[in-house]
């Protein structure tokens, strides 16, 4: 009706409550997604406050590697991550989702651990390896000691008569000396809050000991209830720090992201399995685990180094302070299919938890947009019946969580999919805005119509005949459903997903040499190409008999 009126959308509304871009193949979804990101960033540049730097974050999960170049002309930090096994290709860093960041569910899903025997063992192994390699925390030990000293004092108080007797007063005196020494050792010139509080106890204990020193034979004089009470009250004065901090006692559990080495983990699991009476059930499981951990492509993504920290990971993949706004493109196209879903699930979970924790720490939300292309691959409808956790279910569940709770933490989803009827209904129903391109399939149309009020159903009659680039915008960000034509993107600004030019290629208008050599080299993993160090060669030999290699076209 309004012909060529430009249409503007409030980005808070568009990205704040999840946006779904739906439509058939070739209907223009990827271009619209790329456009929405680009136009947002261009407006940021126009509207930026004087002296301030832009501060946006777009994380793109790109299963087909389409988005690689389409933002290159925007002068902002663009980080590209992918599986860089094919040497020579240089654009993009190696994608890393190290396995030490996975939680026990993610490990179970990827190793297909069965519910009864394998999963508990896996969890035990994870907990032990994380606990074993975690740095020793002197504060935790100090707390544990003081808490047990406190309990000891309470017992002395109950049995105060004994403090006058030979045994009792010796015990009490020795307990005091031991406490004094231990606190001294644990505090060790440090000055944390816990140490400061502990030093008060140290002083009180020493004062008491100077008033009641051992006699010539090494025996303590009689103690009484006042002596005990004085110490108990010093501890209770610092109750909040010393007694209420029980959570510190736990240390890392099976889900805490603490670095460990994959191969060490596999060996540890094997040791635990051998001690287990049901070890025979573990053979296949261990084999699966080993073949997974030694696959070259899998390794390139999940192997971590000790010096890589969680902080660095978040800075690279979510955003760093000096980025001044960033687009992070994660190209998932060469990730082996057996870990693809888990990688995406871990990635999404880490991003989500980071936002959750950010808000808890700073009482402030960090707005970030998580773009999921071809979302039906990761956010599938699933039946919630089977006992075993499958990777694809795990993946769908984390996105359901983000769809339900992400808004509060500033994490907005931008989904693009060809098959709304295959998408998880929970996720789709949490999307508040829809950009609908051409949709021909009946079931998909039905699906979409169910998401909008009946009175608006009529507008959607046009869905099957919408031309490319045209779409219907409806929901939270559009006060009335609006037929929009997306602004034109020039070729280099579009994702790499052009329609193929059959005719021009057939008739020679477009030159297209047929060259397979390099394709095959990459495919067969360059085993015989280039010079390798001995180390690399042995690594490859060790891993050359994995399940995955059975599929290689040798």
Ligand X SMILES: Nc1ncnc2c1ncn2[C@@H]1O[C@H](COP(=O)(O)OP(=O)(O)OP(=O)(O)O)[C@@H](O)[C@H]1O
Closer CB to ligand X, residue 58 or residue 102? 58
Answer yes or no whether residue 377 interacts with Mg ion by CB under 5 A: no
Nearer to Mg ion, 30 or 238 (CB): 30
How many CB atoms within 10 Å of residue 164? 12
Q: Is 419 in the site for ligand X (CB under 6 A)?
A: no
Task: Report what 252 binds from ligand X, Mg ion, none; CB cut-off 5-8 Å by kind.
Answer: none
Contacting range for ligand X; rule: CB under 6 A; set: 377-385, 451-459, 472-480, 487-495: 487-495
Judged by beta carbon distances under 5 to 8 A according to partner kind, the member of ligand X, Mg ion, none in contact with residue 499 is ligand X
Q: Does residue 489 bind ligand X (CB under 6 A)?
A: yes
Within a 13 Å sphere around the CA of 379, how many CA atoms are in the beta-carbon half? 32
Q: Single out the segment in contact with Mg ion by CB under 5 A; choices: 29-37, 107-115, 283-291, 393-401.
A: 29-37
| Closer CB to ligand X, 9 or 125, in the complex | 9
Burial of 364 (0-12, 13-18, 19+ CB in 10 A): exposed
Based on CB atoms, which residue is closest to Mg ion, 295 or 374? Answer: 374
To the nearest whole angstrom, how small is the minimum distance from the Cβ of residue 340 to ligand X?
Answer: 18
Region of 30-38, 49-57, 232-240, 512-520 interacting with Mg ion (CB under 5 A): 30-38
Which residue, among 326, 328, 418, 333, has the nearest Cα to 66 in the 3D structure? 333
Minimum distance from CB of 93 to ligand X (Å)? 25
Q: Which of 267, 263, 271, 339 is nearest to 294 (CA)?
A: 263
The C-alpha atoms of residue 359 and residue 45 are separated, in whole angstroms, by: 26
Judged by beta carbon, residue 259 or residue 378, the one nearer Mg ion is 378
Distance CA 64, CA 52 (A): 35
Which residue in the block uniquely carries the two structure tokens 């015990």? 171
The partner in contact with residue 325, picked from Mg ion, ligand X, none with C-beta cut-offs of 5 to 8 angstroms by kind, is none
Q: Choose one: 53-61, 124-132, 350-358, 489-497; the region binding ligand X (CB under 6 A).
A: 489-497
Restricted to residues 16-35, the positions that interact with ligand X (CB under 6 A) are 23, 25-31, 35
Q: Which is nearer to Mg ion, 30 or 103 (CB)?
A: 30
User: Which of Mg ion, ligand X, none binds 489 (CB below 5-8 Å, type-dependent)?
Assistant: ligand X
Number of residues that bind Mg ion (CB under 5 A): 2
Give me the helix-helix angle, 104-111 and 118-133, nearest 10°: 130
**Dist. CA 304–CA 299, nearest whole Å:** 9
Q: Are strands 433-436 and 19-22 parallel, antiparallel or unpaired?
A: parallel
Residue 27 touching Mg ion (CB under 5 A): no
Q: Which does 488 bind (CB under 5 to 8 A by kind): Mg ion, ligand X, none?
A: ligand X
Q: How many CB atoms lie within 10 A of CB 257?
A: 18
- Note whether 111 binds ligand X by CB under 6 A: no
* Nearest approach, Cβ of residue 374 and ligand X (Å): 7
469 binds, among Mg ion, ligand X, none (CB under 5 to 8 A by kind): ligand X
Selection from ligand X, Mg ion, none that 50 binds (CB < 5 to 8 A by kind) is none
CA distance 61 to 112: 24
Q: Which is nearer to ligand X, 328 or 418 (CB)?
A: 418
Rounded to the nearest angstrom, the gap between the alpha carbon of residue 190 and the centroid of all alpha carbons in its chain is 34
Between 30 and 118, name the residue whose CB sits nearer to Mg ion.
Answer: 30
Q: Report the alpha-carbon angle 430-432-436, nearest 5.
A: 110
Measure the CA–CA gap between 4 and 444, rounded to whole angstroms: 29
Instruction: For ligand X, give the closer residue by CB, 205 or 375.
Output: 375
| Site size toward ligand X, by CB under 6 A | 20
Q: Least Å distance between CB 385 and ligand X?
A: 31
Which of Mg ion, ligand X, none lies near 486, with the C-beta cut-off 5 to 8 A by kind?
Answer: ligand X
Q: Are the C-beta atoms of 67 and 495 separated by less than 8 Å?
A: yes
Three-state DSSP class for residue 433:
strand
Q: Please, which residue, 415 or 489, has the CB nearer to ligand X?
A: 489
Q: Is 486 in the site for ligand X (CB under 6 A)?
A: yes
Nearest Cα neighbor of 338 from 304, 301, 368, 303 is: 301
| Beta bridge partner(s), residue 28 | none
From candidates 184, 468, 470, 526, binder to ligand X by CB under 6 A: 468
380 vs 437, beta carbon nearer Mg ion: 437
In terms of C-beta density within 10 A (0-12 exposed, 13-18 middle, 19 or more buried), how is residue 542 classed?
exposed
Longest Cα separation, the chain: 111
Which residue intervals of 238-261 are DSSP H helices?
239-242
Q: How far is residue 128's CA from residue 267's CA, in Å, rounded to a whole number?
A: 12
Pick 43 or 229: Cβ nearer ligand X: 43
Of 38 and 407, the one with the shorter C-beta distance to ligand X is: 38
- CB-based burial of residue 209 (10 Å sphere; 0-12 exposed, 13-18 middle, 19+ buried)? middle
Footprint on residues 359-418 left by ligand X (CB under 6 A): 418
CA gap 192, 173 in Å, rounded: 28
28, interface contact from Mg ion, ligand X, none, CB < 5-8 Å by kind? ligand X
- Total residues found in the chain within this entry: 554
Stretch that binds Mg ion, among 21-29, 141-149, 399-407, 448-456 (CB under 5 A): 21-29
Contact 431/20 with Cβ under 8 angstroms? yes
User: Does residue 30 bind Mg ion (CB under 5 A)?
Assistant: yes
The CA-atom distances, in angstroms, between 76 and each of 53, 80, 318 are 11, 13, 15
* CB 380, CB 420: distance < 8 Å: no
Which positions lie near Mg ion, rule CB under 5 A?
Answer: 29-30
Which positions lie near ligand X, rule CB under 6 A?
Answer: 23, 25-31, 35, 418, 468-469, 486, 488-489, 494-495, 497-499
């Amino acid at each position: 009706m309004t012909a060529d009126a430009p249409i503007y959308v409030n980005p808070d509304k568009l990205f704040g409550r999840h946006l779904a871009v739906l439509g058939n193949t070739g209907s223009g979804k990827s271009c619209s997604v790329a456009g929405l990101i680009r136009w947002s960033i261009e407006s940021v540049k126009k509207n930026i406050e004087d002296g301030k730097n832009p501060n946006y974050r777009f994380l793109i999960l790109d299963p087909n590697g389409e988005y690689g170049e389409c933002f290159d002309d925007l002068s902002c930090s663009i980080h590209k991550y992918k599986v860089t096994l094919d040497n020579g290709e240089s654009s993009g860093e190696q994608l890393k989702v190290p396995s030490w960041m996975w939680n026990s569910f993610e490990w179970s899903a990827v190793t297909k651990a069965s519910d009864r025997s394998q999963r508990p063992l896996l969890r035990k192994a994870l907990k032990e390896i994380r606990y074993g390699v975690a740095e020793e925390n002197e504060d935790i030990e100090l707390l544990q000691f003081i808490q047990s000293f406190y309990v000891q004092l309470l017992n002395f108080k109950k049995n105060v008569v004994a403090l006058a007797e030979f045994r009792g007063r010796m015990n009490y005196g020795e307990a005091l000396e031991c406490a004094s020494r231990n606190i001294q050792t644990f505090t060790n010139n440090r000055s944390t809050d816990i140490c400061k509080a502990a030093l008060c106890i140290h002083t009180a204990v020493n004062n008491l000991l100077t008033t009641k020193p051992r006699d010539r034979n090494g025996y303590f004089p009689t103690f009484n209830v006042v002596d005990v009470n004085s110490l108990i009250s010093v501890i209770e004065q610092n109750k909040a720090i010393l007694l209420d901090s029980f959570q510190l006692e736990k240390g890392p559990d099976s889900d805490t992201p603490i670095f460990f080495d994959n191969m060490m983990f596999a060996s540890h699991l094997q040791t635990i399995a051998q001690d287990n009476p049901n070890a025979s059930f573990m053979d296949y499981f261990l084999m699966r685990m080993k073949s997974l951990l030694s696959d070259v492509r899998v390794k390139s993504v999940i192997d971590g180094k000790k010096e890589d920290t969680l902080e660095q990971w978040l800075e690279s993949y979510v955003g760093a302070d000096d980025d001044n706004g960033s687009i992070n493109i994660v190209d998932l196209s060469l990730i082996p299919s057996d870990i693809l879903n888990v990688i995406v699930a871990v990635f999404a979970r880490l991003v989500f938890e980071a936002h959750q924790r950010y808000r808890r720490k700073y009482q402030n939300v960090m707005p970030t947009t998580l773009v999921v292309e071809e979302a039906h691959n990761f956010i599938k409808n699933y039946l919630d019946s089977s006992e075993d956790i499958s990777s694809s279910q795990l993946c769908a569940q984390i996105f359901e969580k983000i769809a339900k709770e992400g808004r509060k933490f500033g994490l907005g989803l931008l989904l693009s999919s060809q098959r709304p009827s295959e998408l998880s209904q929970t996720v789709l129903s949490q999307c508040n805005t829809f950009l609908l391109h051409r949709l021909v399939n009946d079931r998909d149309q039905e699906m979409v119509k169910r998401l909008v009020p009946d009175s608006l159903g009529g507008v959607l009659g046009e869905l099957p005949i919408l031309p490319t680039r045209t779409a219907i915008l409806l929901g939270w960000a559009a006060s009335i459903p609006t037929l929009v034509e997306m602004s034109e993107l020039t070729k280099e600004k579009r994702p790499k997903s052009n329609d193929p030019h059959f005719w021009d290629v057939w008739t020679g208008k477009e030159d297209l040499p047929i060259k397979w050599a390099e394709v095959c080299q990459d495919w067969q993993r360059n085993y015989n190409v280039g010079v390798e160090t001995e180390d690399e060669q042995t690594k490859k030999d060790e891993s050359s008999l994995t399940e995955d290699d059975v599929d290689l076209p040798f």
